[in-house]
Amino acid sequence: MPPIHDLLRHLMTTRLLTCSLLVAISPGALAQDQDDTVSENIVIADTATEEPTDSTEVSDADAQAAAIAQKLSNPVASLISVPIQINYDDKYGLSEKGSVWRTNVQPVIPISLNDDWNMISRTIVPIVKQSDVPIPGLSESGVGDIVQSVFFSPKKPTDGGLIWGIGPVINIPTSTKETLGPEAWAAGPTGLVLKQSGPWTYGALANHLWSFAKEDKTEINASFVQPFLSYITPKKLTYYLNTESTYNWDTKDWSVPINVGANQLMKVGNQIMQVGGGLRYWAESSEMGPKGWGVRLNIIFVFPT
């Protein structure tokens, strides 16, 4: 298991980075669809400091909290959020002595294009600290390659209740060290489809990246598939199960981590957030990749508009 002082240091680092990102985000500048909006004055009954005197207030607060929890299960929902994933995996390399902390800061910003369509920007900024990777004795830390996705999604589900989105994805070579990412320009299509039925959400997200810059030292030709399933309890605790499978068409290798865990919706001061975590198991990995069990912590800052 990861040492607790490393975990605390990573939490402090990612909190500072998140605060910087949030200053740059102006929710008021985004034209959100009024049908999808939720009041900033939402009160979550379980964490309120004062109990409402009117049962109507309780039911309204519960409905608003349920709406937020359901939107957080939908990758293309009209909701500004900043998820932070803190992942720890080990048994890297031929000697299986390597370990990696990977903190993904993932701001999600929806923009209303017109009465029928939203554009959703999803960015993944990885902050990496690795030890004895790729060989024993080599330890480095820094920022990896940023992955930027843009989805164009209808505001209303289909008649069958399907929610979908499609658009481009690009890998941006922002790695500060050669071992922290491929440092290559790559692009391709991305898309997702899902359905929400009561407390259940199920669907899949996929993309494919091809290298396109001849001067890059590393080539990318990889497919990513993420089937997902979640269930929201009456207490707004969301259980989730997913895989984040990547297939490298050049090396013919699969990487298949299976993630299971739970996130609780809560309010701390004026900030609405989801906090939780879970375990991941590497069902398949490359020769130099991680093996066995890993840990994931989730902190998701939510900004209803």
The answer to whether 242 and 228 are in contact (CB under 8 A) is: yes
**What would the DSSP string read from start to end of 146-190?**
EEEEEEEEESS--TT-EEEEEEEEEEE---SSGGGS----EEEEE
CATH code (residue 190): 2.40.160.40
d(CA 103, CA 124): 10
pLDDT at 35 over 60: no
Q: Coil, strand or helix: which one is 213?
A: coil
* Number of structural domains found in the chain: 1
Six-digit token string for 200: 């259940």
pLDDT above 90 coverage of the chain, percent: 70
What's the pTM? 0.80
Has residue 280 got a pLDDT over 70?
A: yes
Q: What is the pLDDT of residue 3?
A: 52
pLDDT over 50 at 41, yes or no: no
Helix (H, G, I), strand (E, B) or coil at 248: strand
Q: pLDDT tens digits, residue range 54-90?
A: 566 657 778 889 999 999 999 999 999 999 999 999 9
Highest mean pLDDT out of 7-21, 161-175, 215-229 = 161-175
Mean pLDDT to the nearest integer, 273-284: 97
Pairwise pLDDT comparison (46 vs 144), residue with the higher score: 144
Query: Residue 2 above 60 pLDDT?
Result: no
**134 vs 255, which has greater pLDDT?**
255
Segment among 91-95, 183-187, 224-228 with least mean pLDDT: 91-95
- Per the listing, tokens 């240091």 go with 9
Query: The domain containing residue 277 runs over which residues?
Result: 4-303
Structure confidence at residue 32 (pLDDT): 42
Question: pLDDT digits over 160-187, tens only?
Answer: 999 999 999 999 999 999 889 898 999 9
| Calpha distance 204→224 (Å, rounded) | 10
Q: 34 falls in which pLDDT band (50, 70, 90)?
A: very low
Nearest Cα to Cα of residue 203 among 36, 66, 74, 70: 74
pLDDT above 60: residue 1: no
Q: Could you give phi then psi for residue 32, rounded to 5 degrees?
A: -80, 150
Q: How far is CA 92 from the centre of its chain?
A: 23
Looking at residue 245, what is its pLDDT? 97
Cα 33 off chain centre by? 23
In DSSP notation, 265-281 reads EEEETTEEEEEEEEEEE
Q: How far apart are CA 125 and CA 104, in angstroms?
A: 5
Res 44 pLDDT > 90: no
pLDDT (0 to 100) of residue 175:
94
Predicted pLDDT at 213:
86
pLDDT of residue 27: 41
Per-residue pLDDT tens over the stretch 244-253? 999 999 999 9
Pair 83, 300: CB distance under 8 Å: yes
Average pLDDT over residues 6-34: 46
